[in-house]
Amino acid sequence: MNEYIKSLKNQGKLNISIDKEKTFNWKYTKIAGPCSVEGPEIIDIAKKIKSLGANAFRAGAYKPCTYPVLKETNGWKEGLREEGLDLLRRVKEETNIPIVTEVMDPRMISKVGEVADVFQIGTRNFQNYTLLDELGKTNKPILLKRGTWATIDEILGACERILVGGNDNIAICLRGVVGMPNYRHVFPTIRWAPDLMMIPALKELTNIPIIYDPSHSTGYRNFVKPISNAALAAGADGLIIECHPNPDESISDPAQAIDYSTLNNIFNG
């Protein structure tokens, strides 16, 4: 155990002020939406998802894909990018639901920030220190998605990096980690292992809210509800879930997308 973690265990947690006036209310947060912005239908999707009880809407305008050109289609190239941001702006105007969307690059913070109510840091940028430092200087809520490789030290360290910049409006998003080889011959879309034990582990060391992502951490829609329930039972403060009107048609992450009725069941069942 390193000295820093020892001191957190012995002398108190990595504390942030949970000030309801100032912070996005992470407690019981229900974030849902498609993996990415695919077109103007995003507005109706957001209305529907809001009506199912979501208190924030997710969708990526900028999507860091494993293969950058594999899914190129109709202007969608690692997202709709600026066009996607414009559509999210319309979602906000028409539904007034807070928008959670990814910012991949420090140079894009002000542009994405015109639309995002919460900056999502994707797993691939979890240790992009320039991005973390720059987001630490903003006063917008940040959803920091755990790197698929990250240790508990690296999680706390990444949070601290944002905190020292002056922004303590953050939540940690757990979204699955490397290592699930024994499932993949039966469930080929599984890519990551849900790490539910990290929820109580982090709760011992910090009061930073924990949002659980049952979509990326399972990679398979039939597992989204059970793992959502498990995460809440383990102490997660909220969920972020991928939902699509026609899940199999999703441009990105189709296998893990759930339909409206499953989302309704998770949020209200």
Q: Which does 29 bind (CB under 5 to 8 A by kind): ligand PEP, Mn ion, none?
A: none
Q: What is the dihedral of CA 269, 267, 262, 98, to 10 degrees?
A: 160
Distance between CA 46 and CA 38 in Å, rounded?
A: 12
Name residue, tokens 């499932």. 183
Half-sphere exposure of 170 (CA within 13 A, CB side): 30
- Determine which residue in the list 42, 54, 57, 60 makes contact with ligand PEP, applying CB under 6 A: 60
221 binds ligand PEP (CB under 6 A): no
Buried b (16+ CB within 10 A) or exposed e, 64-100: ebeeeeebeeeebebbbbeebbebbeebbeebebbbb
Q: Which residues bind Mn ion (CB under 5 A)?
A: 35, 253
Half-sphere exposure of 207 (CA within 13 A, CB side): 9
216 binds ligand PEP (CB under 6 A): yes
How many residues sit in the footprint of ligand PEP (CB under 6 A)? 7
Distance between CA 37 and CA 111 in Å, rounded?
A: 16
| Nearest approach, Cβ of residue 122 and ligand PEP (Å) | 3
Q: Which does 217 bind (CB under 5 to 8 A by kind): Mn ion, ligand PEP, none?
A: none
| Nearest approach, Cβ of residue 1 and Mn ion (Å) | 34
175 binds ligand PEP (CB under 6 A): yes
Site string for ligand PEP, 10-39 (x = CB under 6 A): -------------------------x----
Q: Which residue is nearest to ligand PEP (CB)?
A: 122
Of 84 and 122, CB closest to ligand PEP: 122
Contact (Cβ atoms closer than 8 angstroms) between residue 52 and residue 263: yes
Q: Which residues bind ligand PEP (CB under 6 A)?
A: 35, 60, 122-123, 145, 175, 216
